[in-house]
Structure formats: C-alpha cells, structure tokens
Structure 1
Amino acid sequence: MSGAVDARLAELGLTLPAVVPPLASYQPAVRSGVYVYTSGQLPMVDGKLSMVGKVGAEVTADEAKDLARTCALNALAAVKSVIGDLDRVERVVKVVGFVASAPDFTGQPGVVNGASELLGEVLGERGVHARSAVGVAVLPLDAPVEVEIQIELRAG
C-alpha cells in the first residue's frame, strides 16, 4: 500500500484484488490522455463469479448490490494496474452498470448504487460521478452485474 486511497481501503477493511484477466480480446483498463477507461468488470472473486443468474429471479436486489460493489473494487484494481497509484485519480467521471434482469425487475439503479457507494466510500468527493444503470437480458458467464468506470487523472 502506498497512498491515501490505499490507506482508506485498509480502513474500510477492503483489499484490491488481482486484476481479473480478460475473458476475450481486450484489456482490463486503458489510459488515453488524462482518462482511464475500464472494460466491464464482473463480480469475480478469486477467479470465479461469486453468483450467477438474473436479478429479480435467482439473485436478490440486495445480493446484486453487493456484487456491484465487487465489480467496482475490480474496476479500481484495473485502474491501479494502469496508473500505479490511486492517489492520481482526480475524479470518477462516469459509471455504467449493467444488470442482468428478470423481465419484471426494475430496480437497476438500486443495484448499481452498490458500485457508486463503494466509489464514494473509497474516494470521497472524487468518487461522485455521472451514471447509467441498464437492465439487460444476459451478461457474460451469466453474471448478474457488470460495471465499467471512467476516471480522470490529476495533472502531472
């Protein structure tokens, strides 16, 4: 651990996981100028999905919210792999959350709050962002949730 963000993670009892290896032909995160874009991050823990299925059917909204937190933690790990130190984050610009939803499930924003809240807890005001929460029919590996983030870096 090196900086204030790492210290905050420790204070929260969180550890950044190893970066989830790509499932196909892409990079987990890419830097372009002062921005870092992550690929969609699944709720992988120790190399496997912690749950599968549709939110509102096999997975509850509360379970999915926790999974979205895991996705955001995986996204921060991907960002750190590109920039080296999360203290370089100026702000989270955008979060996009995808929720594999049962046909009658409409609580996607509450699920994606799991990711948004984690980013706020870890980064404070720098974690406040614009966001989309989208219901979809299915996600890779039958994951219930997928989250991607866009980060702006501090100058210098």
Structure 2
Amino acid sequence: MRQFTPIELTVNGRPVEASLKPNLTLADYLRDELDLTGTHVGCEHGTCGSCTVLVDGQPIRSCLMLAIQADSCEVTTVEGLSEAGELSKVQRAFNANHAMQCGFCTPGFVVSLTALTRQEPAATEEQLRATLDGHLCRCTGYQNILKAGREALSHGEGS
C-alpha cells in the first residue's frame, strides 16, 4: 500500500497543495508534477548545482531535498525570478555577458547568484566565487559567468 503525505507550499508565489510519495525529491516534484522544467537535474548527488532553487530565500539543491520537506515553505525556481514578464537583473546580466552556452547549468547559477544579490548586494569577489563554488559548467570556462555576477552585483539590491 502506497502512503502519501499531504503538503502545502508556495511555488513562485502561487499556493500549492499536494499529496506526495514520501521519497519524491523536490526536483522531481517541480519538474514532473508542476511542469517547472527550468530546474535541471544533472548529477542527482548535489554536486553539479543545476537543480538549485530557493527555499525560503536560501539556495538549496532540490535533488537532495524531499518534496515533503518543503511543506509550509516558499520555493522559487528560475521561472519565478522574472517579474511582470521582465527578466531579473541576474538574468539580464547573464544575457548581456553571454554567460551561457548549452544552458543546462544556467538555472542553478542564476538562482544562486540571485540569492547572493538579495542577501549581500555589496558582495566581494571572494563571496561571488564562493557562491559559484560547486556549480559545474562544461561549456563556458566560468569567465563570463563571473562577469555576469559582477554586473548583477554592481546594480545594487534586488533581483
């Protein structure tokens, strides 16, 4: 007999109620149940960073978190970063600095950098690099990603 656990959470500003299998990861719930496919699943071990989302404002690896652990939480995916159809400042900085190639890792980088710009709008180069540590990209060599992060931070508070 399958047991399901009821949860209530907010995803990208929208209240959500569900009854889920206890072993369903947050990444799989977002992708498969809510069709928020911007959250990418790469390694499924928390090492690549492409599944990063914000949970109550903190960046987490959604492949390592069970969906039922997000009960009563506010979850923001890369799709939830834009406002009124406009790209966020981090998304604009990625675009302006050509900070992506294949795009697979981009959502995780953008979400983590968004958290940094919100929590530490005057972050240092060291803090920027520490935020990106553990995010893996196979295409860009990281220089344009760092440029995008610097540009987003240069614009002050907000996303």
TM over 0.5: no
Q: Per residue, is there more strand in 1 or in 2? A: 1
Structure possessing the higher relative contact order (Cα contacts under 8 Å, 6 or more residues apart) = 1
TM-score (norm 2): 0.27
- Bigger-Rg structure (1/2): 2
